[in-house]
Amino acid sequence: MAKKDEESPKSKGEGSSKSKGKEGDKAKRKKSSSSKGKDDKGKDNKLKAVLKGQGPAPIYITIFLTLIKVWLFIYDCLNYIPYAIFNSPAEKLRKSGRQKAEPTTVGDNGSPWRNVENTDGKLLTEVSTASSSLRYVAVSVVTVYATLGEEAIAHSINETEATTIVTTAELIPKVQKMVDKVASLKRAIYFLPTNPEADDPDLGHLRDRCEHVLSLEELEERGEDNPSDDAQPKTTELALIMYTSGTTGMPKGVMLTHANVVAAVAGQGAGVNIINEDDTFIGYLPLAHILEVDAELTVLSHGCRIGYSSPLTLHDRASKVKRGTHGDCHALQPTLLAAVPAVMDRIFKAVSEEVAASPRIMQEFFRLNYERKRSRLEDGYDSPFLDRIVFKRIRALLGGKVRGVLSGGAPLSGETQRFMNICFCCPVIQGYGLTETCGAAAIASMDDLSTGTVGPPVRCSDIMLREWKEAGYSPENDPPTGEVLIGGPNVAAGYYKNKKKTDEDFITVKGRRWFATGDIGEFRPDGSLSVIDRKKDLVKLQNGEYVSLARIESVLLTSSLVDNICLHGNSMHDYLVGLVVPNEKNVKKLAEQLNVDTSDWEEVCENEEVNKNVLKELTNHATKNSLNKSEVPGKIYLCSEAWTADEGLLTEALKLKRRPIEQKYKKELEKILQGGIDLGEKATLRPAAAAAEPAAASRPSSASHRAARASALRRSVRTIAPRIFWCNASVGRHGVQRYLAQYFRRESTGRRFGAVDYPPPRITPPPTLSPVVVVVVVVAVVVVAFSRDMPFRAP
């Protein structure tokens, strides 16, 4: 949502040096850009765009929608008193906006922030195991992603000196290729093929190399005859060594003790307070992902059942589900779901495309009810009638019984979060955590009606913000910002056999151990944390401005033309380059409109006219979602091949691996950056030396004369200011400011300001409104006011 101008963040100390001013400007820019997702009121530009360009609705549709509005008005009138008595919207709003976390030192935002429900400060350090009858086989488990590649998997096995590997029949060929690279491996256990018609795996080389190679069924038979003794591990013993997904380099083994796991499960169970023993959880992420491990342990501790699926067969619109058949959610009918943003973005796109393909009257009907429910939701009202009539079919995509969705693993856009919240008729919240914190360190409340927040710290964690001067982040800003540090009993013991990296990321502040996440956070007034940036995803452009690649990607991913996108930027250029995996169906439709042959997909992606129009649509989409000009890609490259985890371009949780992607498209990036297709409508950069210098006769004759001209120009701003709001929309407020700044500098110094030429904004006088127009507008407003959705507000 677009934000108004805000004052520069406050800072301690006296004086106002030039460097502090620059830092303040940076902080102001960061605050302005980061707060766009905050409290996103669900503008839902994508759904509104469904009707874009179709013109006024026919009269019969207008009459139909008016009748619907009248019916909803009567429905509201009949239900107002019962709803106000039994559902208390005012109480829902109070709970949503209540104080959730506070700094432990009053008035010091740089001190650790703690959940207000954890007033004793024990942080669940004394929590015991869930049941005294629970016993363990005291063996440390190492988890690793199967998609990391042979070298990375062999590295993990050799580093941990693992003696037993558990895998699937489908992955046996990969194991046999690397088995000679690992000396410690003695046993292999595999799951039989899920397809009963599939051939049994060839185990020849594996049997020669290992002492025991058993299927799970054979292992179970041996276990029945030779039961092992129970062993109670100590809290400091290793329970898991979880290897990270390798998004930033070689995977690291995170050491998680039994105390870490118990504290994390207890804290997360308290944060998601709707779980009960009758719930069904559907698991589809790999168990090498900390979100899946934590979610399963948490629901098991509450007595829930678990069913398993995969992202490709999860719902009816999944890529591996045949049209007309059902996904796994239809069979299992889960009540709880832990999802990564990539999965929810795909659902969002599938529903949006289905709405766009429906008749005009159904599009208008859906939009009317979507906006009505959004408005009521933000005012604390439920919409049971719409849930049963309008959104029932969409809700059935996930089985029809989902009571709560937790998103984790990556930032979720406010637009997608609100969409899921409305269409699936249940709370959709975000959590935040890392493998190094044994899962979630912060979880939003189920009764929180806002979007874009990951909530307060869970009860086993404290969160502290550390200043990052270079980018202007500081706990002294308003609101407080900084690098997120996490402390508590859920913080890992360190990295396995990697003391250097452990000392770098696990730090001690005032005698207490913290994990430095590298993420940039912001605490809202109610104590909820918003993760607004990541240090490694922040790129400094040539103009000195920082942009957040991950945040921009999450916005552009909601475009119907994009299946995936990876942005690239550096300090040598003042624009971003987008590597885009286009949506084949929608881009081919666009190509047909441009009279481009669509028989060859690679040629479609290489077509210059298609590229220009895709970039134009992305620019429009970015503008609708309030991205700054510097955050809009200046150039793009359409990738004809989809990115997969098997190729090593994505993690199992479908997150981008930037380095492998940039390495694969290295030649294309170099070509684009060296003067390839510039398809944007941005100002064109050129070397400063090539810019023509003003003629000597036109230059000011003296410094005093230049200063006088600049002073006169500044005074003229008072004449321009009342008209700025009517300037050409393509320039905008920031364009006017840059143009004026450039002109002041040029006039006062007699030289060009930088290498970018900004055209003067076309400023036109405000139109004159006749009395007749005013009367017509007033009458129209009155009519709309009485025919729109009402929702009643509680007294």
pLDDT exceeds 60 at position 71:
yes
pLDDT at 544: 63
The domain spans of the chain are: 541-673, 688-749
**Which residues lie below 8 Å from residue 460, measured CB to CB, with a gap of 6+?**
123, 124, 127, 263, 264, 266, 267, 488, 489, 490
Give residue-wise pLDDT tens across range 5-48.
Answer: 333 333 333 333 434 444 444 444 444 444 444 444 444 455 55
Q: With 0-12 CB in 10 A as exposed, 13-18 as middle and 19+ as buried, what is 745?
A: middle
pLDDT band, very low/low/confident/very high, at 675 (cuts 50, 70, 90)? low
Between 151 and 750, whose confidence is greater? 151
Average pLDDT of the segment spanning 271-277: 89
pLDDT at 247: 56
Segment (H or E) for 101: strand 101-103
What angle in degrees, to the nearest 10, is found between the helix axes of 290-301 and 258-271?
70
**CA–CA dist 740, 761 (Å, integer):** 10
Average pLDDT of the segment spanning 323-339: 91
**Which residues lie below 8 Å from residue 754, measured CB to CB, with a gap of 6+?**
688, 742
Reduced to 3 states (helix: H, G, I; strand: E, B; else coil), residue 773 is: helix
How far, CA to CA in Å, does 42 sit from each of 255, 366, 371, 372? Answer: 40, 15, 9, 12
Q: Which of 614, 471, 618 has its CA nearest to residue 541? A: 471
- The segment with the largest mean pLDDT, out of 153-162, 457-466, 557-566, 708-717, is 457-466
Largest CA distance in the chain: 101
| Mean pLDDT of all residues belonging to the chain | 76
- Nearest 5°: the CA angle 316, 430, 273 is 95
**CA–CA dist 538, 531 (Å, integer):** 13
Amino acid making up residue 462: D
C-beta separation of 101 from 113 below 8 A:
yes
pLDDT exceeds 90 at position 646:
no
pTM to 2 decimals? 0.68
Give residue-wise pLDDT tens across range 552-609.
Answer: 888 898 888 999 999 988 777 778 899 999 999 899 999 999 999 988 999 999 999 9
**Which residues lie below 8 Å from residue 519, measured CB to CB, with a gap of 6+?**
432, 483, 484, 531, 533, 534, 535
How far, CA to CA in Å, does 181 sit from each of 144, 157, 160, 244? Answer: 16, 9, 14, 21
C-beta separation of 318 from 383 below 8 A:
no
pLDDT exceeds 60 at position 624:
yes
How are beta strands 546-548 and 512-523 bridged, if at all? unpaired
Q: Residue 656 has which token pair? A: 């981008």
Q: Say what percent of the chain tops pLDDT 70.
A: 74
DSSP structure string for 228-264? PPPB---TTSEEEEEEP--TTSS--EEEEEHHHHHHH
pLDDT at 755: 32
User: 541-673, what's its fold?
Assistant: GMP Synthetase; Chain A, domain 3 (3.30.300)
